[in-house]
Chains A and B, each alone.
Chain A
Amino acid sequence: MRIVYSWLKEFLPDAPSPERLEELLAGLGLETETIDHLPAPHSKIVFAKVLAVEAIPGKDVRRVVLDIGHEVQVVSGAPNVRAGMGLALAMPGAVLPNGMELSARSIAGLESYGMAVSARELAVGDYAAGLMELPADGLPPGTPLAEAWPEETVIEIEITPNRADVLSVYGTARDLAALGLTLVYPDPKPKTSKLDLPFQVWIDDPQGCDRFTLSYAKNIKNGLSPLRVQRRLYAAGMRPISAVVDATNYVMLELGNPIHAYDARFIGEGLLVRRARNGEQLVTLDGLERKFDQRDLLITVKDGDKSIPEGIAGVMGGSHSEVREDTTEVALEVAHFEAVSVRGTAKRQSLKTEASYRFERGVDPDGQVRAGLRFMELLQTWTSATALSHGQEGGWEDEGVLVAESRIDLNHTQPPKPIGFRPSYTDKLVGTNFPVQEQLDVLKRLGFEVEGNAEPYQVMPPTHRMDMGLEEDLVEEVVRVIGYDKIPVTLPTFFPAPDNVGVDEPYLVKERLKAVLSGLGFQEVVNYSWTSPDELAKHRAPAPTVAFANPQASDRTHLRTALYPGLLHTLGLNLSQGEEGPFLLFEVGNVFNKIETTRLALLLCGEAVPGRWQPGLGGGFYALKGLLENAAAHLGSSLEVLKETFPHLHPGISGEIIWNGQKVGSIGQLNPGIAAQAGLPASYLVELELPLPVAKTRFKDVAKFPAALRDVAVVMPEAATYAEVESLIRGAAGELLERLEIFDVYRGSPLKDGEKSLAFHLAFRDPGRTLTDGETDGFMAQVIAVLEGAGYAIRK
């Protein structure tokens, strides 16, 4: 909402400087986005009247003869220049707001005395399609425009959806007045005449439209609105169109009521407000043909048994009854429509207007008559047939605009309901100790009526505060006016209810995991939660189960089902950008399969520890597995990998991860087929479902007796795994086997082709005594017997 400072001053004569206002507004919850200082136009920019426009043969620019007290010519390519109009001329020597200085120059072979400017060139508005048209008699020709357009300040306020009451100059002034500033109440008084109203109004749906006023004026001479008004409209971000249309916009900006003027010639016997019939159509003011269904509320023109759509209630009028240059009589609608209905229609039509914006947030259901009167007052000031020339605003004659004394006012609105208010509740909820009287005074200054002598007071909100419904709403009103800075600073003291104890365990475990992985050299990355079916298919990840209804881009259509494609994407991106390894990446994030779960993924590409100028410390499957084993050790957990295949992994270099005895995910080399397709080097991946099963730490006394050490080497076929042998040994060695450690994998003579030998250290220890050689040999005999029984040979 752009608040023009001079306009605001009309309602708040004591308003402080814009900069101070920014602070006051912020304290009230109205945040200033920007303060724009609009300079007065440069002194060499003058008002000019177009005397003649002549084509220049063979050129697309025209010669324009201007009156600026004397005759001058400019050359202009603007499409809208025509004889009789007023415009702004930047004479030679004028400096435009963008810093450009004008000089007399030759265009198309003709001397051009400066330049006729557009609204954008003058930095008053964002319209550059043509010259800024000014009322023909706006100023005596040659007068600096600055005389009518002094410098101006605009405060742009961001208004939250609840504060519909400040979507106007007056509404903003009214809120500021609660701080103790004097407020001038708007009290428009057009001169009225006894005229018959040539129409009627019917409301078919009093819930969708609970208030409808229609008033009437004739003998209008529609032209351009006065220069001063044009300035304000431009400053407020609107484009002046014609006096009548400008007056509707002016009233809306000033008082907050969206209003609509119909050319009274086109509304027949009157207006009927009703829901649309499915498929009904209407061409709106923007020239678009729109289609409706029975949820949409329409204003229709009643014609016998028929009623023809003429406007979308609270959104936009129809083009048929649009106010034109030749309009001489208008019917003025100031109504109140249900917010939810307007919002629904505006959304379905993708049509956000100043009117719908206000109605869907809530317009004062009691401001209609005042807004109507204000419109008529402006109409009489701006458009009387005894045209107001410059300098004599206000003096209208009998031939001026005739405003009907009576009006139609169908009113089904409900008065606001009182709210019980306890000042003591303010203090409890906010932690303050504000005096009762001060609290009640604030409410009164905001326009609330307070009744009663004790708690709970009965507080009646003003009609423009539709956001008031609860005692808490009143508390906020009281506190925002007194000032949030008056609230003390405390910390709560309480003992949490027992069911809240330990709820952050999953978070702590996750943080611990991240810290361990970081310590091992992995860099965390964060990838998007979304992906596409192509991306998933390319990486042989599970098909997606969740799709966006409104995807942003073709590579953001579904939710990810695995983390590793994101890590590979990150790897590819980093390689293509020439980033340096080592590439040890991890991500902790959510994936979406049958349900949403949290996972950990790891990636290793290249050497785990590069040696730089000397051989590095390796990479590959066993490096990644070793790092994961290290992580498990850090977390006091056991880790096993059992051979298993996964679609995205190398079938011979992949396995299932068993963490503390439970299956939690996969480890292996990225399937070379996928790697080749993606142009990636060999990469190794881990993907685990979180939370990982936790092992409890149990104290075990330090060793007091020596361990007995033995070795054994087992010969086995190539296909047999370490895990199988390990499990046999552990099973056979008995409870006193303290440690089992592989120290050699051997292939070659004297073993046969297709055979390998795995050599183990075994350490036996009895916590209570020293084992004898005989006992230890006995354990080994069991081990060897079991291994041989399983078909393996023992290497001597």
Chain B
Amino acid sequence: MDINTAIAEMHRAVTLEALQSLKVHYLGKNGLLTQEMKALGKLSPEERKERGRVLNEIKQALENAVRGREKELEAQALQSQLERESIDVSLPGYAFPAGGTHLTSQMQAELLSTFRRMGYSVVEGPEVESEFFNFDAINMPDWHPARDMQDTFWLKDSGDFDVMGPEGERVNNLGGLLMRTHTSPMQIRYMIEHTPPFKIVVPGRVFRYEQTDASHEAMFYQLEGLVVGPDIAMSDLKGAILELARSLYGAQAKARFQPTYFPFVEPGAQFALWWPEREKWLELGGSGMVHPNLFKAADDYRQKMGLPRVYDGMTGFAFGMGIERLALLRYGIPDIRYFYQQNRLSFLRQFKN
């Protein structure tokens, strides 16, 4: 057995299997080296010692050669496996759908989070209202010209549908039935059900009898705010709206208030936000100090329901605004019909933050 030949053979082995055979051939139970080791017993002690040492060195060398080649072959095998398994990672993956909320929901959630940060609670009210909550109780009696400002979808009361009041009572008899024209009836509903002080915001669908076109919808969303307490002032209203402006448009945002008229507030104000990025004022909504007639209407109703009067001496502010307009402006969307009339996925999927 020539050790150099043996080592060369091992280095030439191209597979792990071939190397394994060589290993058996030399180092196995009946391998060449093993046989020579077995033959040691026939030698004299001196020869045996010397020969034993040589054989052990050979064994070491062969084993090292086997291990070294093994590692090389393993590395090669891994390499070829990796090459075999290589794929085109540029091909697209499974089309897991990226869902999302409607643009209006996103805008609404953004506004609500601002108010929640200021400690407001979010509550919602019904879309079908009685005339009392939508108009009369918020200081818009039947004869009031302000009713002309809101064209109304009136409903037939067939008797098959119950409108519920704030205490779970049926209120179909409180005037006609209608689709609420604003979220303001929740001011009264909430005041009947709860006691001051409190801060609430009310998002929701509202309805106006209008022909739909690029800038008008018969159904749209409003956000209403109401804060009532013993010492609420109009300056607090300004603070709330300024905070809204900042959360929408950053530290450079401003809020502007001008007198206007809404039957449910006195003094009344419309507000505009300064949008620094576009350098313009956006007329956004109406606001003001809660009209005393609303407190009276809430207390009268409470009394009727056997609840104590709690609004005497209270003051409060309220505000309301449309939600779609903010989204239309932010993204430069030219037509409100994209929102509800069409619900095209290629529109809805665009808005992810």
Contacting residues, chain B, for A594 (C-beta < 8 A): 160-162
For residue B176, which residue of chain A has the nearest CB? Answer: A549
Top 8 A-B pairs ranked by shortest CB distance?
A431-B235, A29-B259, A431-B233, A521-B97, A476-B267, A160-B261, A480-B259, A545-B160
Contact A582 B233 (CB under 8 A): no
B233 and A528 within 8 A (CB): no
Chain B residue numbers with a CB within 8 Å of A506 are 124
A350-408: which residues lie under 8 A (CB-CB) from chain B?
Answer: 360-361
**Stretch binding the partner chain, chosen from B2-10, B51-59, B98-106, B297-305:** B98-106
Q: Is the CB of A472 within 8 A of B123?
A: no
Decide if B344 is an interface residue (CB 8 Å cutoff).
Answer: yes
What B residues does A490 contact at CB under 8 A? Answer: 233, 235-236, 238-239
Determine, out of B21-29, B74-82, B140-148, the stretch whose residues face the partner at the interface.
B140-148
A431: chain B residues at CB < 8 Å are 233-236
With A480-B267, A526-B339, A574-B344: A428-B233 Cβ-Cβ less than 8 Å: yes
Contact residues of B between 307 and 353, Cβ < 8 Å to A: 315, 339-346, 348-349
- The answer to whether A98 has its CB under 8 Å from any CB of chain B is no
A residues near B160, Cβ cutoff 8 Å? 545-546, 594
- A567, closest chain B residue (CB): B343
CB closest chain-A residue, reference B126: A596
Asked whether any CB of chain B lies closer than 8 Å to the CB of A470, the reply is: yes
Q: Name the interface size band of chain A.
A: 35 or more
* B213 close to A (CB within 8 Å): no
> For the complex, what is the distance from the CA of A582 to the CA of B95, rounded to whole Å?
8
Taking the closest CB of chain A, its distance from the CB of B45, in whole angstroms, is: 59
Interface contact A489-B91, CB-CB below 8 Å: no
Among B151-196, those with CB < 8 Å from A are 153-156, 158, 160-164, 176-177, 179, 194-196
Contacts of B116 in A (CB 8 A): 504
Q: Chain B residues with Cβ under 8 A from A465's Cβ?
A: none
Question: Of the 9-residue stretches B11-19, B36-44, B63-71, B197-205, which lies at the interface with chain A?
Answer: B197-205
A window 158-194: CB within 8 A of B: 160-163
Given the known interface contacts A429-B289, A479-B267, the answer about A577 and B95 at a Cβ–Cβ threshold of 8 Å is no
Interface size class of B (residues with CB under 8 A): 35 or more
Other 17 A-B pairs with CB < 8 A, given A472-B291, A500-B194, A503-B121: A429-B267, A430-B267, A491-B240, A497-B195, A507-B112, A507-B124, A518-B101, A519-B99, A520-B99, A523-B100, A526-B104, A526-B340, A573-B344, A590-B126, A608-B97, A610-B94, A612-B95
A682 within 8 A of B: no
| Structural contact, B235 and A430, CB atoms closer than 8 A | yes
User: Which of A344, A479, A503, A552 is B200 in contact with, Cβ under 8 Å?
Assistant: A503
Max chain A Cβ within 10 angstroms of own Cβ: one of B119, B218, B258, B343: B343
Residue A88, interface by CB 8 Å: no
Q: Verify if A550 is at the interface (C-beta below 8 Å from B).
A: yes
Q: Which residues of A contact B258 (CB under 8 A)?
A: 26-27, 29, 31, 484
Chain A residues near B345 (CB, 8 Å)?
Answer: 523, 574, 579-580, 583
A519 — which chain B residues lie within 8 A by C-beta? Answer: 99
- Complex interface: chain B residues within 8 A of A592 (CB): 128, 161
Q: What is the 8 Å Cβ interface bit string for chain A, positions 502-541, against chain B (1 contact, 0 not)?
A: 0110111001001101111111111111100000000000
Are B292 and A160 in contact (CB-based, < 8 A)?
no
Cβ-defined contact, A29 with B260, below 8 A: yes
Closest to B342 in A: A573
A579 to B143, CA, bound (A): 49
- Tell me if B99 and A522 are in contact (CB < 8 A): yes
**Residues of chain B in range 206-228 having any CB-CB distance to chain A below 8 Å:** 207, 209, 211, 218-219, 227
